[in-house]
A and B are shown apart, each in its own frame.
Chain A
Amino acid sequence: MPQFMVMILENEVEERKLAPSETKALLEGQSAWERELRAVSAYLDGERLRPASEGRRVSRRDGQLRVDRGPFGERALSACYVVEAEGLDAAIKLAEKCPLAPGAELEVRPLMKGALQPDRANRRGRLFAFAVLGSAPSERSWIEVMDRIDESTRNHFAPDRFSGGVRLQEPARGRGMASAGGRRAVFDGPFLESKEVIGGLFFMRMADLQEAVEWAGGSEFMKHGTLEIRELWRS
């Protein structure tokens, strides 16, 4: 069965305005949604990400390595799930039941290839998500970039560090969903306002954020685009 990545993009400014009781209700609602996915065997993997304000973006511009601190824009990736569904419509159906914070959006993207490792939460050390950000003018160039990334990173990960990852199909094959005042609207990719879209995501164990930044700066990814580094919640 095809696999999809469900990404939740939260407006952290809005999310911080939630009262503790609302945060609690939201977290419990999302956990209940995860349980539902598991109950219908659609759930393959999932992680929540700590605030973007704690994160970093590492890129290379004009030969210079550049490290930016978060937040990076209006919305930030706050959770990602890998689900199995018969098609994009079915995946959207699963995703749209996920409770969202005010101002949050949701993206559903077909997977290109993945190496999952759902037991990562049991591993020691700090866990980080590395999101590969970039853009491609056409489907063909997207596939080329993805292949290059695959080639250049095939032996790039130390096995005691790597904790799974996925590459995504081009954004035009995905779909987004925004919520406003209880109403939901579905829209097609490529996604509004996004110059940089997520092409893939992988997880690594690191001693700390500094080490993660250092690793990213020396990685092959710097040839292709930007890496956003975000610590995972242990939940």
Chain B
Amino acid sequence: MEELSQTFDAVFQREKGRIVGALVRMLGNIDAAEEAFQEAVLAAIPTWRAGGVPANPAAWLTTAAKNHARDAARHRSIVAKNAPLLVERDTVTPETFDTIADDELRLIFTCCHPALTLDTRVALTLKVVAGFTTEEIARAFLCPEKTIAQRITRAKKTIEEERLPYEVPEGAELPERLASVLAVVYLMFNEGHTPRQGPLMRLDLQEASLRLGRALCDLLPNEPEVFGLYALMAFGFARVATRGDAEAGLLLLSEQDRARWDRPMIKEGLMALQRARRLGGRGSYLLQAEIAACHTTAEQWETTDWSRILGWYDELLGLTGSPVVALNRTVAVAMHDGPAEALAALAELEAPLASYHLFYAIRADFRRRLGQDAREDYRRALELAGNESERVFLRRRIDEAS
């Protein structure tokens, strides 16, 4: 029974975004759509338990949710007249293939609207599009459930009060709005890959962000950065099994067992990267994916094509000017030109990255390789690090240096 309800949960999670997207168009706002979806889920559980998951669960859930919504709308017809609407209720437009795709996209763009803070966008997207419960989101971000619930409620209120348009942005508006969506997906992935606090990884977050990334590839097939981000995430996800565990701590790329990397997932990344390149992309996700591809296709850490990686980093740095990119670039400098060069390149990064644990961890590594005392830097890194596996790793290094 336990197993069965897990299967159901996976189906509900996978299908939620698309179904809620269509329901928002029909019902006019996200809350009503989520409620109708929830009712469909409640109806599905006993029915599916008795007769099995239907061949097309998405279609089943959509029909059930629409039936419920229709009933509820009849009850509330008087109230609804005064309720604020995201969109004009639309029940006459026939559902063509493209309206269904638009529904899902509109929902994603609304949940990721730049008028909301990044953390709020992530929480709302996880809840409404990726089908996470408030409790699951709270667990993922080590927040009290109440905080997340409030954040989501406030976000929905902002959407209605500010009358954020429920639409797929076009033309000049698209790049900025798309960047906002991709930032949400990438933060979701990173929070799963290396949580700021807590355990080594959260697979549920990584899987949800990959799913969302792939859906975006199908919904926006001509946007190179969508494919760049998907490739970047696939390369990262291909390595999850080798990144260490709670006991051993984090294993660096140089220490991982490359034979155990997930090869079909690497192919997934290579294919997406190919599409991004063909579309003529040169954005920051594509460039990061190029770097990840160099690492993932190198047979050993030592034989990695460092000069190529440095080239990508130079371009990425020119594009973003980000000190974190500059920091990561020094790791490639250390491999290409030696740790002394890399240490020199770090000097100007201390000020902007003074509270970033990886700055100290990386400087410590360069100092260690130069035979200098690195303990102080490792300690600073340990003070600032919140991820448990990173902490285990740093303690190990301090012990080795003592």
Where the two chains meet, the residues of A that have a C-beta atom closer than 8 Å to any C-beta of B are 16, 18-21, 23-24, 27, 31, 48, 51, 121-126, 158, 160-161, 205, 207-208, 210-211, 213-214, 233-235
Cβ-defined contact, B57 with A210, below 8 A: yes
Q: List 13 A-B contacts (CB under 8 A).
A: A21-B299, A24-B297, A27-B267, A121-B221, A124-B98, A125-B218, A125-B219, A210-B56, A211-B56, A211-B59, A233-B271, A234-B217, A235-B278
Complex partner residue of A23 from B18, B100, B263, B298, CB under 8 angstroms: B263
State in angstroms the CA–CA spacing of A27 and B231 once bound together.
15
Of all A-B residue pairs in the complex, the 9 with the closest CB atoms, nearest first, are: A210-B56, A20-B297, A24-B297, A235-B271, A20-B266, A21-B297, A124-B101, A160-B97, A235-B274
Distance (whole angstroms) from the CB of A200 to the closest CB of chain B:
23
State in angstroms the CA–CA spacing of A211 and B60 once bound together.
12
B256-281: contact bitstring with A at CB < 8 Å (1 yes, 0 no)?
00000101101100111011001000
Q: Taking CB as reference atom, which chain A residue is nearest B54?
A: A210
Cβ of A23: which chain B residues have Cβ within 8 Å of it? 263, 266-267, 270, 297
Give the one of A18, A158, A161, A210 with max B CB within 10 A.
A210
Cβ of B222: which chain A residues have Cβ within 8 Å of it? 122
Cβ of B220: which chain A residues have Cβ within 8 Å of it? 124
Cβ-defined contact, A234 with B227, below 8 A: yes
Complex partner residue of A16 from B264, B275, B297, CB under 8 angstroms: B264
Q: Is the interface of B mostly helix, strand, loop or mixed?
A: helix
Complex partner residue of A214 from B55, B217, B296, B297, CB under 8 angstroms: B55
Where the two chains meet, the residues of B that have a C-beta atom closer than 8 Å to any C-beta of A are 18, 55-59, 96-98, 100-101, 217-222, 227, 261, 263-264, 266-267, 270-272, 274-275, 278, 293, 296-299
Cβ-defined contact, B218 with A124, below 8 A: yes
State in angstroms the CA–CA spacing of A24 and B292 once bound together.
13
Complex partner residue of B263 from A16, A122, A125, A210, CB under 8 angstroms: A16
Cβ of A121: which chain B residues have Cβ within 8 Å of it? 221
Distance (whole angstroms) from the CB of A160 to the closest CB of chain B:
5
Cβ-defined contact, A31 with B274, below 8 A: yes
Cβ of B97: which chain A residues have Cβ within 8 Å of it? 124-125, 158, 160-161, 205, 207
State in angstroms the CA–CA spacing of A193 and B101 once bound together.
42
**When A27-B271, A122-B221, A214-B55 are in contact, do A19 and B299 touch as well, CB less than 8 Å?**
yes
State in angstroms the CA–CA spacing of A107 and B264 once bound together.
25
Cβ of B272: which chain A residues have Cβ within 8 Å of it? 234-235
Complex partner residue of A27 from B55, B96, B274, CB under 8 angstroms: B274
Cβ of A210: which chain B residues have Cβ within 8 Å of it? 55-59
Cβ of A122: which chain B residues have Cβ within 8 Å of it? 221-222
Give the one of B217, B218, B266 with max A CB within 10 A.
B218
State in angstroms the CA–CA spacing of A31 and B272 once bound together.
14
Cβ-defined contact, B56 with A214, below 8 A: yes
State in angstroms the CA–CA spacing of A234 and B278 once bound together.
11
Cβ of B296: which chain A residues have Cβ within 8 Å of it? 20
State in angstroms the CA–CA spacing of A124 and B99 once bound together.
11
State in angstroms the CA–CA spacing of A122 and B98 once bound together.
13
Give the one of B96, B101, B220 with max A CB within 10 A.
B101
Cβ-defined contact, A124 with B263, below 8 A: no
Cβ of B274: which chain A residues have Cβ within 8 Å of it? 27, 31, 235
Cβ-defined contact, B101 with A125, below 8 A: yes
Cβ-defined contact, B299 with A124, below 8 A: no
